[in-house]
Structure 1
Amino acid sequence: MARSTADGQPAAVLFDRDGTLVEDVPYNGDPDLVRPVAGAAEVLTELRALGVRTGVVSNQSGVAAGLLTLNQVHQVNARVEELLGPFDTWQVCPHGRDEGCGCRKPAPGLVRAACAALRVDPADTWLIGDIESDVRAARAAGARAVLVPTPVTDPAEVARAPLTAPDLRAALGLVLGRVVC
């Protein structure tokens, strides 16, 4: 398993998709609606240049609800990669909220699966997301997390988050142990 480097750089950084890497379009099955959030491309370019593995962990309950197909999810994910570059792993939970699966965030399954696919220790992994279920999934898997709230993030979730950043660039600074101004 890959470990953090001697300089404290993480082995991997995982991202939530909707609201974190790309603008949140509920139950998006249309690749033409994909719009990266500010700073996403630059953050990913820097991580890749440092040799940090990257992945996406995404709940897609619209599949279970019949609002979109798994093929549409894959098409949207492909568009994300066209705009932001390749990720080392994609982990998607297509289950509904009440199905009781172990992969749907806040359960740790997606994070654990991503770490297994990347052959990294969760303790050397960070997850950046926009809601509390991202933070809870990371912590349940033994990874660290940064919450990057959006205007729709519940303020109580922000208050409970152990680590927050105003944007992806600041989150990257926290992940890499840099002073964030």
Structure 2
Amino acid sequence: AYGDVDEGHPPGKDFLASLCDQWEKEASAAATLGVRTVMLRSGVVLDPAGGALRRLVLPFKLFVGGPLGDGNQWMPWIHREDQVRAILYAVETPEISGPVNLVAPDAVTMTEFSRTLGRVLRRPALMTVPAFVLRILLGEMAIVVLTGQRAVPRKLLQAGFRFSHPSLPEALSNLLHPSISSG
């Protein structure tokens, strides 16, 4: 999708988008019973202890890090602390209902993400993993890595949520060099 994708945009056409749309339709049935329903749409949660960040850091440490695919796909992300805080905020804020994008306001492409990660780790971001290699390694799940939307957290921001880690360079520094960024 081109441009910002907020919570009001229609779902995409691929398998994952259709699956999530079906989940959200089932969850929204509770609203017909008068239950406030919040459907969380999470970006990539950045946490050095696991998930995508842990897997992306190793190639950089070995000096073979870089973008996945062509690098032009958007990579919606969120710092682990902001993820937890945003979930609690959504639950505790009665004005929030329906779909909520749990993503940082600093939208980046895979290339921008890789360059920033390289700078934080003081490593180059030169090696690209071609899409066909990802399709061989990941099969149908490659779509998760090779496509992305410029998701924005409109509902959270309009409801007054303040991100502790809104920018990617600061978030990665905080997670990967906590003693430097906190002191």
Query: With structure 1 as the length reference, what TM-score do the two structures score?
Result: 0.29
The structure with the largest helix share of the pair is 2
